[in-house]
Amino acid sequence: MGQYAAPLRDMQFVLHELLNVEAEIKQMPKHADLDADTINAVLEEAGKFCSEVLFPLNQSGDQEGCTYVGDGVVTTPKGFKEAYKQYVEAGWPALGCDPEYGGQGLPAFVNNALYEMLNSANQAWTMYPGLSHGAYECLHAHGTPELQQVYLPKLVSGTWTGTMCLTEPHCGTDLGILRTKAEPNSDGSYAISGTKIFISSGEHDLADNIVHLVLARLPDAPKGTKGISLFIVPKFVPNQAGEAGERNGVKCGSIEHKMGIHGNATCVINLDNAKGWLVGEPNKGLSAMFVMMNAARLGVGMQSLGLTEVAYQNSLTYAKERLQMRSLTGPKAPEKAADPIIVHPDVRRMLLTQKAYAEGARAFSYWSALHIDKELSHEDEAARKEAADLVALLTPILKAFLSDNAFEGTNHAMQIYGGHGFIAEWGMEQYVRDARINMIYEGTNAIQALDLLGRKILGDMGAKMKKFGALVTAFVEAEGIKPEMQEFVNPLADIGDKVQKLTMEIGMKAMQNQDEVGAAAVPYLRTVGHLVFSYFWARMARIALDKEASGDPFYKAKLATARFYFAKLLPETAMTIRQARAGSKSLMDVEESLF
C-alpha cells in the first residue's frame, strides 16, 4: 500500500529559511499579523489529514473508480464522500479564501503548501476541491456582487463544488471554434445549450450542488476567441434562500474510462437550455476564465510536485529494504544474503533525481505562490506589478517543467521497484498513470512552451524574462566571488548566459519564419526550467553552507542534492539547447506522404 508523511522539515526550510515569508508578509497589510508558528501549525494539521484520511483511499479509489449509475448520476469510490465531509468540517476549503465570504484569509503560499500534501496523498480526490477553489477565484475576480453573494459562501465552505467547462468534442484546445450557445432569457439569465467534454469533477456525490463555469457564445458573437462569453451554470438553481433549488438543464451524459486518476469523474456534460448567468463582460469570457485556467495550471504544478514527493518517499524506503546483488566495490551488508539496492549507483541516480526535482519544485512553486500574494496584497504598486509579471512569465514553466519531471520521477519509482513496480498492489504504477495526465490537461506541455516562448518572452521583447534574469544576475554578482559558491554560481551564470543568447537567436529566426518558434518551444522551456531550478538550487546551497556547521544532517543532505543537481541534471541543457537551435527545417521540409 505504500506510505506518505508530509515533508514538513523541507516545507519549513523553503518557507522560513529560503523565502523568509514572515518578513515578506509584513509588507502585505491583510497578512501582516500572521506568524511562523501559525503557519507551521496549519501545515502540521494538514499533513495529518493527508496521511491519515486521504492517503489510505488513494489505491482503493484507483481500483474502484467512479461509477456512472445512469440518468446523470455518478458515485465516487468508497470513502471519498466521508473524507470530503471531514475536509469541509475542518474548514480546509476556506483556508485561502476571502473572510468576507467566510474564508480564513491565509496567504496563497499556505494554501499552495496544503495542496502539495493533498496531491501527494490522493491526486484524484484532490481535484474535487481543487477545481472548486479555481471557480471561487474566478467568481471572486469577475462575478457580479449578486452572483458573489449567492455562490462564494457556498464554494468557500465547500458545501458546493465547482468545475470549468471549456472544451467540446470537436475543438480540443482550440476554443475559438466552440459551439455552445447562450440565448438571453427575459429575466436576465441565459439559456445555455451544448456539449462539453473532459470535465473533471463534473458530476459526483460529494456535495449538495455543483457550480459549472461554462464558455459559450452569445447570439451574433464575433467568430473566434473574441466571441466567447463565460457563464455560471449550477446543477441546482439557487432558491430565494440561497440553497440548492430546482434541477437545472445540465446533466452528465457519461464518464470517461481513463488511464489514470480513476477516482475523479471525467465527464461529458450536456447542457439543454440550462439556466446560466453571465460572468464578466460579454465576449470577454476567455480572459475571465483565464483566472481559473491559470489557477489550474499552478494546480497541475502542485499535483506534479505531490506525485514526485510521494514517489520518492516510497522509492527510498524500498531501496533501503530490498536486497539484491552486492555492491561493485564489495559487500556493504555482509551479514545479509545481499546488499540493499541503495548501494548501486544507478539506483542512487534515480533516487537523487526524484529528490532534486521534488525539492527544486517545492522552492519554485512556493516562491511563485508568494509572488501571487505580492501581486494581490503588497502595499507597493510597483512590487505588485513586478510580482504579476514574474508569475505570468513562470506559470507555463511551473505547469510543464514540473509535470515533465513528475513523469520522470514516477517512472523512476517504478524502475526502482523492478518487477514489483509493474504490479498494481505496490502502488507505483498508479503514480505513473496519474502523472501522465498532468502533461496533457490544462493545455498540453507543448502549448505551455508556445505560451512561454511566443507570448511571454518574444511577445514583449523579453521584458518579463529580463526581470527574472535580474534576480539571477544579482545573486551571481553577490555570491560569485566566494570560493565555496563557485560550484553552484558558475553553472548558474553559464546557463543564464546561454538562455539569453538562445532567446535572441530564436527571436531573430522567428522574424523570418514563425515555425521556428514552434520547433524550438519545447526544448526551450526545458532549458529555461533548468535555469529556474539552478537559481533556486544555488540559493538553497548558500543557506546550507551557512548552516552546515550546525551539524544538522538536513543541511548536509541539501548540499549533496544541490551538487547532484548541478552535476547530473543541469547538463540536460546541452542537449535541449542544441535541439532548440536546430530549427524547423528538419521537421517542416518532410512531405506529409513521407510520414
How far is it, in rounded angstroms, from Cα 320 to Cα 312?
Answer: 12
Q: Is 442 a catalytic residue?
A: yes
Query: From the candidates 168, 203, 386, 442, which is the catalytic residue?
Result: 442
Q: Which amino acid, one-letter code, is at 294?
A: N
Question: What's the average model confidence in pLDDT over 456-470?
Answer: 96
Per-residue pLDDT at 179:
94
**Strand ranges inside 201-310, DSSP E:** 209-216, 229-234, 236-238, 244-247, 250-255, 266-279
Per-residue pLDDT at 41:
98
1-55 pLDDT tens trace: 799 999 999 999 999 999 999 999 999 999 999 999 999 999 999 999 999 999 9
61-76 pLDDT tens trace: 999 999 999 999 999 9
Was domain 161-283 assigned CATH 2.40.110.20? yes
3-state secondary structure of 279: strand
How far is it, in rounded angstroms, from Cα 415 to Cα 308?
Answer: 14
Average pLDDT of every residue of the chain = 96
3-state secondary structure of 406: helix
Per-residue pLDDT at 325:
96
Residue 565: left (phi > 0), alpha (psi -120 to 50), or beta? alpha
**Position 176 confidence tier, pLDDT thresholds 50, 70, 90:** confident
201-258 pLDDT tens trace: 999 999 999 999 999 999 999 999 999 999 999 999 999 999 999 999 999 999 999 9
Residues 446 and 521: beta-carbon distance below 8 Å:
yes
Antiparallel, parallel or unpaired: β 160-165 and 209-216 = parallel
278-320 pLDDT tens trace: 999 999 998 887 777 777 889 999 999 999 999 999 999 999 9
Estimate to the nearest angstrom the gap between the alpha carbon of 287 and the chain centroid.
20
Q: Closest Cα to residue 316, out of 557, 15, 590?
A: 557
Name the class of domain 8-66+75-142.
mainly alpha
